[in-house]
Structures are given as C-alpha cells and as structure tokens.
Amino acid sequence: MRLSLSAVGRLRAGPEKTLFDDYTNRFNKIGRAMGLGPFSLTEVEDKKNLGMTAEAALLEKTLPKQGIICTLDERGKVISSPDFAHKIAVWRDQGVSDVAFVIGGADGIDPTLRARADYSISFGKMVWPHMLVRVMLSEQIYRAASILSGAPYHRE
C-alpha cells in the first residue's frame, strides 16, 4: 500500500526537512517487508494567494484516483500511535492501494476537500506549524511500521 503526503507549501532545507527525510527513509526501508510504502511527498503552492479553494484544487490534482484520503486537521480524531498503526494495517489488509494524507495551507483545508476525506486525524488541540506537522506525520508513519513489525522503537 502506497502512502503519500500532499501538502501546501515547500519544505526548504533545514532541520524539518532533515527530520522528514530521515523518517521517510526509515519507513521506506522497514515498511516494504509489510506491504507498506513507499511514502512520498507532493508539494503544491498557491502562487496567486487565492486561498483555500485554490489550494484545494491544487491538492485534488495530486490525490490518487482511488484509495483513502486522510486529512490532518484540528477537527480530526486524536488517536494513539498504536491505534494509528492499526488503522494503517486495516487499510492495507482490506486491499487499499493508496492512502493520501493531506495538509492544507495557513487557513486549513477547504471544507469541500475536508468533506471528501475518508478519515481525519489531529495531533491535538494545539495549532502546529505545517512544516512540523509534516515531520510529526512522517515520524508517526515510521512508528506505525515499527509497531506493526514488532520492532522496539515504540515503547508503551
């Protein structure tokens, strides 16, 4: 099952990109044996600053034709790392070919795209910078693969 992240904005060189790349590479190595991966990133930019609707149109173009759409949104469900791992395993075991995670721009995700999502998760009630959310998501995807493989990375 392929996993992807479609996000508004560009992740420039720096500590966030280094961490994102590190967790993505770790996941791509461990996930393969479990039928997971690769995990890829597609970035879009609303260069005309037209807002959420324009961002949603750009994001829509990057999403797989079939599969699961999972938004990262403050209104989403707060779940534990083991529950996230279980969710990914269920999708994989159901034969889902693609899971696309979506991070919107500064104003969030357009309501029409949010409504189209199959699932939505939140990293808590606090607002996080979008570049950190990318890192947090990549780490949680790697952690999910580690949990599913029985590796000792995750400790409860």
Residue-range definition of the domain harbouring residue 9: 2-149
CATH number for the domain spanning 19: value is: 3.40.1280.10
* This prediction's pTM: 0.94
Per the domain annotation, does 141 fall within a domain?
yes
Residues 43-96 pLDDT 10s: 999 878 788 999 999 999 999 999 999 999 999 999 999 999 999 999 999 999
Per the domain annotation, does 154 fall within a domain?
no
Which residues contact residue 63 at a Cβ distance below 8 angstroms, ignoring those fewer than 6 apart? 6, 69, 100, 102
Which two three-digit tokens encode residue 135? 């890192």
Mean pLDDT, residues 13-21: 96
Per the domain annotation, does 156 fall within a domain?
no
Per the domain annotation, does 155 fall within a domain?
no
**Considering just the CA atoms, what is the radius of gyration of the chain in Å?**
15
Of residues 38 and 51, more confidently modeled: 38
Residue indicated by tokens 């994102």? 20
Residue 156's pLDDT is what? Answer: 65
CB-CB contact of 36 with 70 (8 Å): no
Query: What's the number of domains the chain is made of?
Result: 1
